[in-house]
Structure 1
Amino acid sequence: MNTMSVAIATVTIFILFFANVPIAFSLIVGTLVYMLFSADLQPMIMIQRMMAGVESIPLLAIPFFVAAGALMTYSGIARRMTNFAEVFTGHLPGGLAQVNILLSTMMGGLSGSSVASSAMFSKIMFPQMAKRGYSAGFSTSVIATSAVIDAMIPPAIGMILYGFIGNVSVGKLFLAGIFPGILLCALLMVTTHFISKKRNYLPYREKMARPKEILFASKDAILALLLPVIIIGGIRGGMFTPTEAGAIAVIYALVLGLLFYREMKFHHFKEALRETVSVSASILVIIASGSAFAWILTWERIPQTATEFVTGLVDSPIMFLFIINIFLLLLGMFMEGNVAIIILTPLLMPMVQSYGIDPVHFGIILLFNLALGTIHPPLGTIMYTTCQVTGTKIEDFVKEVIPFLLVMILELLLITYIPWITMWLPNLLM
């Protein structure tokens, strides 16, 4: 094992990362440094491993679902889902904040990433909440924490990556994330209710919607709401793979926007394509660079060595999960989620198997931990994204986000030590 070369490469990556070099380029340089310090490897191998990392049919699901999310914004689907959420939650204290949380749940996973979702909702919802007198820190905290739901609700990009790298059923991961995502939505809404009640944040609507309004909003949004049902149902029924489901989602969004709602224009389509190319390219470059570095770890037998070391120290799955949770929470503050998934999955999977933990269950724990780290100081990516877009001071955000973080840590403990929460739906349907 060339321990020194691995150490130098790792230190190089972190130095570049803290110097604000994009994580993909940091990984490429770190991998190249390792190749240069290893006499038996040529730098051309890095290029080969990067290409091999993205030459996969399952990864086609990523641009498909990113495109579906972009098309939803321009086809009228997002607006109808917003109206649907307002009808059901607008009468509650802090009505607009409740709408934001419910809407994040309904549109979960289709934006390409939690960071992209938080940026989108910061532009859409924050100005409206500011007009209603909500404090900037509270509004930004709601937007940031509700964006974490994207990591749990299918078809989340992180689930596709974890399933592909860890050889885990993506269909089972999609099903496993549904109930934890809904539970997180409920916990955030309850927290928002009590905070809004205490601060007298008024409802968006004066009173609860009448049955006629609910019926009209449901009728208007029913075709949009059928999209996740079609995706999950099609995968569960064996009609198409997760990759094919992404293509179906794109076609479905186009049909709704062009034929049913008739709101999508040619310039909307061009803008959706531009967003899809931009987001997909950034994700795939990260996957390629992360795959090359992950190959180094495998080549040096780091996963096997780490497994032997950890299992020699910890003999209980309960304690192992506790340690892993702390490690992932800390890592999530510093590393982009997709990169962490690419690097950590091959590293942690042997440990997970040695402790007899279901890889589907562990996948949800991993994804939630990394998503939670993105709203954590000091370097949480969602924290900085939302604060930058909304103009909120970091210290105001940190003060307001504490109650939301506490309930999210509560959910983390629940899904970690009560596997039924994640596994009952996959076990029931698959």
Structure 2
Amino acid sequence: MSNFLILDLVGMVLAMVIGLNVVFAVLGAALIYFLFHADTSPLVMMQQIQTSLRSFPLLAIPFFVFAGTVMARGGIAERIISFAQVMVGHWRGGLAQVAVLNSLIMGSMSGSAVADAAIDSRVLVPQMRANGYSLGFSSAISAASAVIAPVLPPSTSLILFGLLGQVSVAQLFLGGVVPAFVIALALMTAVAIIARRRNYGSVLLQRSSRFERLAALRHCAWALLMPILLIVGLRAGVFTITELSVMAALYTLAVSAFIYRSVGWKELWLILKETAETTATVLIIMGASASFSYIFAIEQVPVHVVSALTRISDNPLVILLLLNVALLMLGMLVEGAAIMILAAPVLVGIARAFGIDEVHMGVIVALNLTIGTLTPPVGIVLFTICSITGCRVGEFLREMLPFYFTLACVLLLLSAVPAIVLTLPHWMTP
């Protein structure tokens, strides 16, 4: 790897640290390399960007983004929160438990940590404050539970990893399901311990009756069918991942517009606008990734990285632990999208070299980068929640400590026991 490339990458990271948009930082760094490197031309960069965007599977991105946006704006979130409250509201720390269960359900529809965190901070945090929870704890559990969304289908992080690393997106989707439940269970356990120490009570005086639970289930049954549509569609092999994204978009729109009647023409225009903006950002990132993948190929970066890791150990678990530490540290300094752009092809190469399953690697990477969104100085979920709730960053970080520990334990567990990630994809592969 040349010194010029190292300096270029350092400059890109510094540009992002001082606040330059991640897309401009990455494209700028790529352009500098192609302009001043003797054996390349900017025309090659343009060709790589154009070629990378001529991909049929990329059509899945706008449709999944559209489906998630409809879920967030179409009044479905409130129905799901009501359902979660009936199911776990009687537990100690009931509203915090509702936040975790809500993230588990909403995550299977939105696939976005930021969207899930914004919903919780706007709807649940005021309720938690009114019931005696501290602002820091309310904000922290909303952020920690948002980690679940990018691990579940239709996670944008998993789609990006699959497309950038040429890994089956359907397999990645299935691989994220069980880890998401593991994260939820771990967070619920942490909430129960903290609630007992602080005497946070339940939101319901007694456990809901079977009739009340069935009524709550009927109230949001159409919304809850979407995750089943995704899983069954993948398992049966009826749809490709692109076709499944179209079905998800049509289904969420039909439910919101015609059954719940919460989306009209005005809301639809806003949904389409937000979808277009998000999709444009993701596709620009994909193009930037293609130019850097070409740079890494001619510089033989994957070969150098694998060689360096081999000198440390040839044990797959040790390699995964080293990558976890590296990704967590990078996530504190660099935007997760930029890490995905630069690292996905390299990480897939590492997985193949050391016998690590690519689906296992993808889920681990998605979880690592999402944890990075909860840490300063560039944590987008952290700042989204603090800006909505008015919580000071210092108070937020103090309350996040037990949840950082919980998520780190889950990360170690998933790294050490690949079967947690891989059993469902292997079992449900058509």
| Same fold, judged at TM 0.5 (above) | yes
1:21-170 map, 5 Å: 21-108=20-107, 110-111=109-110, 113-170=112-169
Give the Cα separation in 1 of the matches to 2:72 and 2:378: 29
Match of 1:177 in 2: 176
Contact 2:90 2:203 in 1 (8 A): yes
Match of 2:242 in 1: 243
Give the Cα separation in 1 of the matches to 2:385 and 2:293: 30
The secondary structure found in structure 1 opposite 2:257 is: helix
Of the structure 1 ranges 18-27 and 376-385, higher mean CA displacement relative to structure 2 is found in 376-385
What is the CA distance between 1:389 and its match in structure 2?
2.1
Match of 1:358 in 2: 357
The secondary structure found in structure 2 opposite 1:318 is: helix
Give the Cα separation in 2 of the matches to 1:97 and 1:195: 10
Contact 1:329 1:370 in 2 (8 A): yes
Give the Cα separation in 2 of the matches to 1:381 and 1:399: 18
Contact 1:311 1:351 in 2 (8 A): no
Match of 1:413 in 2: 412
Give the Cα separation in 2 of the matches to 1:394 and 1:424: 39
Give the Cα separation in 1 of the matches to 2:76 and 2:382: 27
Match of 2:427 in 1: 428
Q: Deviations over 1:251-282 (max 9, x none)?
A: 10121122222232211111211221122222
What is the CA distance between 1:250 and its match in structure 2?
0.9
Give the Cα separation in 2 of the matches to 1:281 and 1:99: 33
**Letter of the structure 2 residue corresponding to residue 120 of structure 1:** I
**Structure 1 residue 297 and structure 2 residue 296: aligned?**
yes
What is the CA distance between 1:359 and its match in structure 2?
0.8
What is the CA distance between 1:80 and its match in structure 2?
1.9
**Letter of the structure 1 residue corresponding to residue 274 of structure 2:** E
Give the Cα separation in 2 of the matches to 1:42 and 1:15: 25
What is the percent sequence identity of the aligned residues? 37
CA RMSD of aligned residues (A): 1.7
Moved over 6 A (4+): none
- In the alignment, structure 1 segments of 5+ residues that lack a partner are none
**Letter of the structure 1 residue corresponding to residue 325 of structure 2:** I
**Structure 1 residue 329 and structure 2 residue 324: aligned?**
no
What is the CA distance between 1:376 and its match in structure 2?
2.6
What is the CA distance between 1:132 and its match in structure 2?
1.9
Give the Cα separation in 2 of the matches to 1:254 and 1:385: 26
Please report the TM-score for the alignment, with normalisation by the length of structure 2: 0.95
Contact 1:387 1:393 in 2 (8 A): yes
What is the CA distance between 1:60 and its match in structure 2?
1.6
- In the alignment, structure 2 segments of 5+ residues that lack a partner are none
What is the CA distance between 1:135 and its match in structure 2?
0.9
What is the CA distance between 1:109 and its match in structure 2?
5.0
Contact 1:59 1:161 in 2 (8 A): no
Q: Deviations over 1:325-383 (max 9, x none)?
A: 11111112122223322211211222211211111111111111111122134443322
Give the Cα separation in 1 of the matches to 2:53 and 2:99: 34
Give the Cα separation in 1 of the matches to 2:111 and 2:85: 24
Give the Cα separation in 2 of the matches to 1:47 and 1:348: 25
Contact 2:106 2:116 in 1 (8 A): no
**Letter of the structure 2 residue corresponding to residue 354 of structure 1:** A
Contact 2:159 2:169 in 1 (8 A): yes
**Structure 1 residue 400 and structure 2 residue 395: aligned?**
no
What is the CA distance between 1:311 and its match in structure 2?
1.4
Q: Deviations over 1:15-56 (max 9, x none)?
A: 211220011100111111111221222223222222233322
The secondary structure found in structure 2 opposite 1:107 is: helix
The secondary structure found in structure 1 opposite 2:239 is: coil
**Letter of the structure 1 residue corresponding to residue 417 of structure 2:** I
Give the Cα separation in 1 of the matches to 2:308 and 2:82: 53
Q: Deviations over 1:34-83 (max 9, x none)?
A: 11221222223222222233322212211111111111234332222121
The secondary structure found in structure 2 opposite 1:125 is: helix
